[in-house]
C-alpha cells in the first residue's frame, strides 16, 4: 500500500481555510444535525478552551497521538449514515 500524503497535517484549520480562500478553492463545511448533542462537542469545546490558553495545544496532541502504538487488530463499530 502507498502511504497517504498529508501536506497540511500540521496546519491549523484557520490557515487551511485562508489557503483555500486565496487559492480560489471551493471550501465548505457541513455539520451533522446530531452534532450538538454528540459527546465530541464537549471534547471540541475542551480543545478550544485549551487552545485559547496555549496556541500549540492541538498541534502537540497531534504529535503525541502519532507516537502511540495501536494493536494490529482493532475492532471498530460500523457507523450509520448521518
pLDDT digits (tens, 9 = 90+) for 8-40: 777 887 888 888 889 998 877 777 776 667 777
Tell me what pLDDT residue 36 has: 67
Q: Where are the domains of the chain?
A: 13-66
- Band (62; pLDDT cuts 50, 70, 90): confident
Place of cell 500524503: 5
Residues 6+ apart with CB under 8 A from 16: 8
Q: What is the average pLDDT across 70-80?
A: 71
Taking a C-beta distance cutoff of 8 angstroms, is the pair 9, 62 a contact? yes
What is the pLDDT of the chain when averaged over all its residues?
79
CA distances from 35 to 13, 15, 42, 53, 61 (A): 18, 24, 10, 25, 22
Taking a C-beta distance cutoff of 8 angstroms, is the pair 57, 51 a contact? yes
Amino acid at each position: 500500500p502507498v502511504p497517504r500524503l498529508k501536506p497540511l497535517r500540521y496546519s491549523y484549520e484557520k490557515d487551511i481555510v485562508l489557503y483555500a480562500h486565496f487559492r480560489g478553492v471551493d471550501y465548505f463545511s457541513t455539520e451533522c444535525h446530531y452534532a450538538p448533542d454528540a459527546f465530541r462537542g464537549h471534547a471540541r469545546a475542551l480543545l478550544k478552551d485549551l487552545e485559547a490558553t496555549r496556541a500549540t495545544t492541538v498541534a502537540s496532541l497531534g504529535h503525541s497521538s502519532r507516537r502511540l502504538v495501536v494493536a494490529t487488530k482493532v475492532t471498530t463499530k460500523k457507523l450509520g449514515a448521518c
